[in-house]
Amino acid sequence: MTYLFNTPDQQQEMLQTIGVDSLEALFSTIPSELRLNRPLDMHPALTEMELQAHVTKLAEKNVGPGSRVCMLGGGAYDHFIPAAVDEIARRGEFYTAYTPYQAEASQGSLQTFFEFQSLICQLTGMDVSNASLYEGGTCVSEAAFMAMRVTNRHDRVVLLGSLHPEYRQVVETYLKHLNCEVVIVPCENGCVDPAEVEAAMNDQTACLVIQHPNFFGTLEEAEQLTEIAHKYGALSVVSYDPISLGILKRPGDYGADIAIAEGQSLGTPLQFGGPYLGLFSCSQKFVRRMPGRLIGETVDRKGNRCYVLNLQAREQHIRRDKATSNICSNQGLIAIRAAVYLSLLGKQGVREVAELSCQKAHYAADQLSQIEGIDLLFNDRPFFKEFALSCSEGSDFLLRKAREAGFDLGPELSRFEYNNGSERYQTGVLVAITEQRTREEIDRLVMALKA
């Protein structure tokens, strides 16, 4: 039998030692009326060779970047992943280890996560980072919970209408049933009007959640919005694109209290939406209110520098219902990928990826918007690497035509529900351009759409 060790002889010997006469007898504590008296209804077992053939066949039924140029965005991006990232993440020492509770047997993971925390602080300009949360969406709800604890305001949070619609839905799922009012500031023209944000704030608001660049790829007035949040005693929560920080001001530069992100762009493949990486960092003064694992430096009994899980008294296995979060796992292996990615790229590499993505996206936007019937949905707004197109023939037409020519654009904005969203959104399609896209590809797409 696959993956088992003990031979029938050994099993008999072991049963004898235990003092029972059959494997079945080991299950005698399960009352017989609760037993399943038939085999599970499953496909027959497959050998490795058969499994590989089967899964390969399933994979071939999908159409991936092998045959399509990926210009999809909406929170998951096709950035380049250097081979060294896979090399480290494939080490059994990392991926077959458990959470580093036994520090002496886990210094490899612990130091790597400590360095991950350090790298995220350098990237964001924030004081402290945890060792990761699930993904970008739950980071927003965890940030909102933390803001409520810090401000002791539990009834109201304000989100920009330009937040990723799925992030907003996650926050609503987490907060609404706690009778916390989730206020959405309308976003009509691709980014919010600071005056409308100010109108939505009051002295009962725990936090203002800003996404910058926002869901439409557009830049928000993050600095000004942070000041507005602070004016009302609320925390400023900024959801950023980690790649954008190669050229954009860092959340720490303009006073964000909590900086969160979807970290998939940092060396993790798209893999149909997960597992991804929740990045969560904040100001030093809130460190004991943070959710998630934290790795700290200390010394061992001989005075050697070493690393441990720190401030565990915040966490569910100690504090139970009073914990700062119910989260138990983190995204360890994905955080390792991000640590390797950021180390490899360094300050120059991250800047180059950001610049290339930004330049190519602007070239693509210029070329595409010259096609008759295609316009930039928000044509006077600065953006980073992603922008929204509108098509006079409708978004389905645009997507289909691109697909036929071998390009995946999207997501189409009509895919999501918006609170107070503009009618114009129904016609929009997002396009994301990473450093991997070439002028030749962009020109080919433009030619195909002109035809």
Partner 1 sequence: MRNQLATESLFALSHQGRRGARFPASDVPEKPLDELIPKSALSTEPTGLPEVTESDVIRHFVNLSTLNMCVDTHFYPLGSCTMKYNPKRHERLAGLPGIVDLHPYQHTADLQGMLELLYETQEMLAEISGLPAVSIQPAAGAQGEFTALLTAKAYFEARGEKRTKVLFPNSAHGTNPASAAIAGFDCVQLASSKEGLVDLEDLKAHLDDQTAVFMVTNPNTLGLFEKDIKQIAQMVHDAGGLVYIDGANMNAILGYTRPGDFGGDMMHYNVHKTFTGPHGAGGPGSGPIAVRDFLADFLPGPVIKYNSAENEYTLENPPKSIGRVRTFYGNIGILVRGYCYLRTLGAEGLKAVSENAVLNANYLKAILKDVLPVPNGDLCMHEFVASASKTKAENGISAMDIAKRLLDFGFHAPTVYFPLVVPEAIMVEPTETESKETLDAFAETLRNILQEDPEFLHQAPHSTAISRPDEVIAARNPILKCCAPQ
Q: 67 to 86, contacts with partner 1 by CB under 8 A? A: 68, 70, 72, 74-76, 78, 80, 82, 84
Please report whether residue 129 would count as binding partner 1 according to CB under 8 A.
yes
Taking the least distance from each CB to partner 1, the nearer of 94 and 183 is 94
Instruction: With CB under 8 A as the rule, give the number of residues binding partner 1.
Output: 205
* Among 389, 442, 446, 449, interactor with partner 1 by CB under 8 A: 442
Mask of contacts with partner 1, 185-214, x by CB under 8 A?
------------------------------
Please report whether residue 228 would count as binding partner 1 according to CB under 8 A.
no
User: Closest distance between partner 1 and the C-beta of residue 373, in Å?
Assistant: 21
Here the tokens at position 306 are 């070493």
Helix (H) or strand (E) holding 322: none
* Among 181, 199, 370, 382, interactor with partner 1 by CB under 8 A: 382
User: Closest distance between partner 1 and the C-beta of residue 188, in Å?
Assistant: 20
Taking the least distance from each CB to partner 1, the nearer of 15 and 233 is 15
Burial class (CB in 10 A: 0-12, 13-18, 19+), 203: exposed
β-strands 128-129, 278-282 pairing = antiparallel
* Among 21, 51, 231, 370, interactor with partner 1 by CB under 8 A: 51
User: From CA 383, how far away is CA 214, in angstroms rounded?
Assistant: 9
Task: Map tokens 């280890």 to a residue.
Answer: 97
Contacts (Cβ under 8 Å, ≥6 apart) of 184: 158, 159, 160, 161, 168, 419, 420
Please report whether residue 255 would count as binding partner 1 according to CB under 8 A.
no
Nearest to 207 by CA among 224, 187, 226: 226
Please report whether residue 157 would count as binding partner 1 according to CB under 8 A.
no
User: Closest distance between partner 1 and the C-beta of residue 438, in Å?
Assistant: 6
Taking the least distance from each CB to partner 1, the nearer of 196 and 223 is 223
Please report whether residue 348 would count as binding partner 1 according to CB under 8 A.
yes
Tell me if 189 sits within 8 A of 354, measured CB to CB: no
Taking the least distance from each CB to partner 1, the nearer of 30 and 199 is 30
User: From CA 446, how far away is CA 440, in angstroms rounded?
Assistant: 10
User: From CA 378, how far away is CA 401, in angstroms rounded?
Assistant: 22
Please report whether residue 33 would count as binding partner 1 according to CB under 8 A.
yes
**For partner 1, which stretch binds (CB under 8 A), given 146-154, 186-194, 345-353, 370-378?**
345-353
Strands laid side by side in the 235-240 sheet:
128-129, 278-282, 258-262, 235-240, 207-211, 156-160, 181-185
**CA 353 remoteness from chain centre:** 19
User: Measured between alpha carbons, how far apart are the two ends of the chain, in Å?
Assistant: 59
Please report whether residue 182 would count as binding partner 1 according to CB under 8 A.
no
Please report whether residue 111 would count as binding partner 1 according to CB under 8 A.
yes
Nearest to 426 by CA among 436, 438, 410, 415: 415
Name the 3-class secondary structure at 307. strand
Please report whether residue 152 would count as binding partner 1 according to CB under 8 A.
no
Please report whether residue 378 would count as binding partner 1 according to CB under 8 A.
no
Taking the least distance from each CB to partner 1, the nearer of 46 and 199 is 46
Q: 298 to 337, contacts with partner 1 by CB under 8 A? A: 298-302, 304, 306-308, 310-311, 313, 315-323, 325-334, 336
**CA 298 remoteness from chain centre:** 30
Nearest to 210 by CA among 196, 199, 220, 195: 220
Please report whether residue 236 would count as binding partner 1 according to CB under 8 A.
no
Please report whether residue 54 would count as binding partner 1 according to CB under 8 A.
yes
Q: 280 to 299, contacts with partner 1 by CB under 8 A? A: 287, 293-299
Q: 398 to 437, contacts with partner 1 by CB under 8 A? A: 399, 403, 408, 410-411, 415, 435
Name the 3-class secondary structure at 39. coil
User: From CA 278, how far away is CA 12, in angstroms rounded?
Assistant: 48
